[in-house]
Amino acid sequence: MRALRFHSARDLRLEEVAEPGTPCGREVLIAPVICGICGTDVHEYAVGPFLTTVEPHPVTGGHVPQILGHELSAVVVEVGPGVDSVAAGDRVSVMPLVGCGTCAACRDGREHMCRLRAAVGLRHPWGGMGELALVDAGQAVRMPDELTWEQGAMIEPAAVSWSAVRTGEVSAGDSVLVTGAGPIGSLAAVAAAAAGARVLVSEPNQRRGARVAALGFDVIDPRAVDVTEACREWSPGGVDVAIECSGQPAAIQASLAALAPGGRVVQTGVPVRPTELDLARLMLSGLSIVGSVGYPIRCWPELMGEVASGALPIERVMTGRVAMQDGVANAFERLLDPSGDDIKILVDIKE
d(CA 75, CA 68): 18
Catalytic-labelled residue, pool 7, 22, 40, 167: 40
| CA dihedral sign of residues 85, 90, 95, 101 | positive
Q: Is the separation of the CB atoms in 67 and 52 below 8 Å?
A: no
Residues 6 or more apart in contact with residue 144 via CB below 8 angstroms: 304, 305, 308
Q: Give yes or no: 57 in active site.
A: no
Q: Is the separation of the CB atoms in 160 and 134 below 8 Å?
A: no
Q: Identify each DSSP E strand in 236-338 by its residue range.
A: 239-244, 259-267, 288-291, 318-323
To the nearest 10 degrees (0 to 180), the angle between helices 183-194 and 155-167 is: 60
Which of 112, 127, 114, 113 has the alpha carbon at shortest distance from 44? Answer: 127
Which of 96, 227, 66, 73 has the alpha carbon at shortest distance from 160? Answer: 96
Q: Give yes or no: 43 in active site.
A: yes
Q: Is the separation of the CB atoms in 20 and 127 below 8 Å?
A: no
d(CA 300, CA 191): 15
- Burial of residue 75, with CB atoms counted within 10 A of its CB: 0-12 exposed, 13-18 middle, 19 or more buried: middle
- What's the first-to-final CA gap in the chain, in angstroms? 14
Catalytic-labelled residue, pool 7, 43, 63, 319: 43
Q: Is the separation of the CB atoms in 97 and 119 below 8 Å?
A: yes
Q: Which residues of 202-234 are buried (b: 16+ CB within 10 A; e: fewer)?
A: bbbbeebbebbbebebebbebeeeebbebbbeb
- Burial of residue 101, with CB atoms counted within 10 A of its CB: 0-12 exposed, 13-18 middle, 19 or more buried: exposed
Nearest-Å Rg of the Cα atoms of the chain is: 20
Residue 29: enclosing H or E segment and its boundaries?
A: strand 27-36
User: Looking at the annotation, which residues are catalytic?
Assistant: 40, 43
